[in-house]
Amino acid sequence: MNLWKTITVGCLVFSWVLVLALVCCLVFLVVRPSFCQGNVASPLTTTTLVRADGEWQSSGLYIKKGQRVVVVAAGAWRHDGYDDVFYGPDGVGIYFDTAVMPAHKVGVLLGRVGGSAPFILGSSTVFVAEGDGFLQFSMNDDRGAYGNNLGEVRVQVLVNGR
Ligand SMILES: [Ca+2]
């Protein structure tokens, strides 16, 4: 009798363990805890201090075509040493025909990926890379006239996607 009782209890415990394991598997499949999502690329982030007096400066981040890039910048810089006016990475209301991007404000933060054409970043933007290459930054100023610039902006980048 005791043997049958032991076997019955053993079977009950075993079946409950099986049910519990099945429930755990279902929960695992539905919830998918973050620690088991190793195949999902985590976003790349970096911070670059971009000097006003340097032309193109690399973030060190290699961007691939189709990746979504979030850029946030803050700081104070100026495009010459003749007055006391500093401004942020959105630039100042001055335009130079000989600037890197003449149709855009002097002092605005520019970006490019590898050897791409420059594009406006300013204090915050999101873009999808059209090609591969290192993400680089520069102030919009007269080409070759960066030596008299002052200040710097801190640029934070988050790269996500493929
Ligand atoms: Ca300058």
Whether 32 and 49 map to the same domain: the answer is no
Model confidence, pTM: 0.74
Whether 148 and 73 map to the same domain: the answer is yes
- Quick: pLDDT tens for 25-40: 566 666 665 555 544 5
Task: Write out the residue range of the structural domain in which residue 140 sits.
Answer: 44-160
Whether 138 and 59 map to the same domain: the answer is yes
Q: Measured in angstroms, how far is the CA atom of residue 145 from the centroid of ligand 1?
A: 4
Q: Measured in angstroms, how far is the CA atom of residue 80 from the centroid of ligand 1?
A: 5
Question: In total, how many domains does the chain have?
Answer: 2
Neighbours of ion ligand 1 (CB under 5 A): 79-80, 141, 145, 148-149
Whether 26 and 104 map to the same domain: the answer is no
Q: 162, 66 in Cβ contact below 8 A? A: yes
Paired tokens of 134:
């290192």
- Quick: pLDDT tens for 91-126: 999 999 999 999 999 999 999 999 999 999 999 999
CATH code (residue 122): 2.60.120.430
Whether 50 and 108 map to the same domain: the answer is yes
d(C-alpha 135, C-alpha 118), whole Å = 11
